[in-house]
Amino acid sequence: MHLIVDGYNMIRAIEVYTREEGRSLRHGRELLLEDLENYLSQGDDLCLVVFDANFIRGTKNSEESFAGIDIIFASALPSADDVILEKIKEFRKDGEQITLVTNDNLLRIEAVYAGANTMSPEKLYEKMKAGLRIK
């Protein structure tokens, strides 16, 4: 299974991440990625987290990895939503089962149409807490 997380959407939906984001964007991202790493270490699921980077004009998409989690910082064009939908289609061609984590209703509808399952950030966080001792 391939888990795709709408990064800032998840951070802003879950209070513990929002608090860390209040310190800095980096702190919010790092806590989310660390929690995902711990959660995913219990299985063989793949994970992609997409963050909007369109606040930095003229940037191109950049990709990196953290503990086996693929990360994309999406520029304004294509947007993070466009990148997510593109990745869903790419992974579906490979026959993978995909779950998108977001509260963005339009993106959820488009993802289902493209063949993905969807889950709210709150539901994923509950699952993470059940598998981890997140305070």
Element (H, E) at 4: strand 2-6
Model pLDDT for residues 35-57, shown as the tens digit of each residue:
999 888 877 789 999 998 765 55
Q: What are phi and psi of 94, to 5 degrees?
A: -85, 5
How confident is the model at residue 134, as a pLDDT? 39
Q: Are 33 and 7 in contact (CB under 8 A)?
A: no
Q: Are 52 and 76 in contact (CB under 8 A)?
A: no
How confident is the model at residue 79, as a pLDDT? 84
Q: 116: phi > 0 → left, psi -120 to 50 → alpha, else beta; which?
A: beta
Show the domains of the chain with their CATH numbers: 2-131 (3.40.50)
Model pLDDT for residues 72-111, shown as the tens digit of each residue:
998 777 789 999 999 999 999 988 899 999 999 999 999 9
Q: How many beta carbons lie within 10 A of that of residue 6, not counting itself?
A: 25
